[in-house]
Structure 1
Amino acid sequence: MANVIFYEKPGCASNAKQKALLIASGHQVDARDLLKEPWSASSLRPYFGAKPVHEWFNAASPRVKSGEVKPGAVNPQEAIMMMILDPGLIRRPLMRIGDHCEAGFDPASVNRWIGLKSEAEEISDRCAMDAA
């Protein structure tokens, strides 16, 4: 069992399903509001690890969907600053267990990391509310 600090967008149906799966898998979830967290470069950057910068962004963000923000055209420092100013740009959820941090919810990756029940079939990091 892991204690997962889980940064979510309140009201996001996908985040609710992700939390439910973690709890059903025996993990404790400490849910926090991603949008209200006082992010800094040093607190946010570890969640993205070695992922390419464009994968740091929430593809469903209105600013990304409209083309105002072009995730493939910014460097890591610019991306972090944009996300600090507008946390809605951050791919979610952000999850931390101890010193290990992850952005997004890929069930296979989460399963390898901490273990999940087998019902992880259709749960991803795409917010159903954002897709609408």
Structure 2
Amino acid sequence: MSSVLFYEKPGCLSNAKQKALLATLGHRLTVRSLLAEPWTAERLRPFFGNLPVRDWFNPTAPRIKQGEVRPETLDAATALVLMLDDPLLIRRPLIESEYGCGCGFEPGSLLTALGVTLAADQDLQSCSRSGPDPRCDLPTDGAAA
């Protein structure tokens, strides 16, 4: 199929499921840490395309869940500054391929081009951990998920 550059949060169970699905479809994955990548605003911005700014954000990021960051109130420039400072805010995964780039793992033109078909009840975007505090989006040193 194609080569896919996949930016993940290391240890994220949902990202693991997303990568597995892409691999079963024959894509060659190059996986990088979303948290360790040296992002710039110019490099990060294209992943969000025409999405509203609020949809650029990971809704389970601690600063969003605590109300410190309110994506619906931000403009693009401010959103990018916040994300560069705290990559946990970035909606993941970020995917780059010959078909373009995008954020998140929900039905749309990029996933369609990659041959991904999700059933109506199949959610590979939300956190795969359960419970009142899944701890998915805590900063990680590689040991925590």
Q: Do both proteins adopt the same fold according to a TM-score greater than 0.5, normalized to the shorter chain? A: yes
In the alignment, residue 83 of structure 1 is paired with which amino acid?
M
User: 1:98 offset after TM fit, Å?
Assistant: 3.3
User: 1:126 offset after TM fit, Å?
Assistant: 1.8
Counterpart position of 2:35? 35
User: 1:2 offset after TM fit, Å?
Assistant: 1.4
1:66-94 C-alpha deviation (Å, 9 max, x unpaired): 10000000100000010000000000000
Extract unaligned runs of 5+ from structure 1: none
What is the Cα-based RMSD across aligned positions, in Å?
A: 2.1
Query: Structure 1 stretch 91-100 or stretch 77-86: which is displaced more?
Result: 91-100
1:40-72 C-alpha deviation (Å, 9 max, x unpaired): 011100000000000000000010011000000
CA distance in 1, matches of 2:124, 2:45: 21
Q: Rate the CA distance shift 1:119–1:3 in 2: closer, same or farther, 3 A.
A: farther
TM-score, normalization: structure 2? Answer: 0.83
Q: Rate the CA distance shift 1:29–1:121 in 2: closer, same or farther, 3 A.
A: farther
Counterpart position of 2:98? 98
User: 1:99 offset after TM fit, Å?
Assistant: 6.8
Aligned length: 132
CA distance in 1, matches of 2:19, 2:121: 14
Regions of 4+ moved over 3 Å: 107-111, 117-121
Identity over aligned pairs, percent: 47
Extract unaligned runs of 5+ from structure 2: 135-145
TM-score, normalization: structure 1? Answer: 0.90
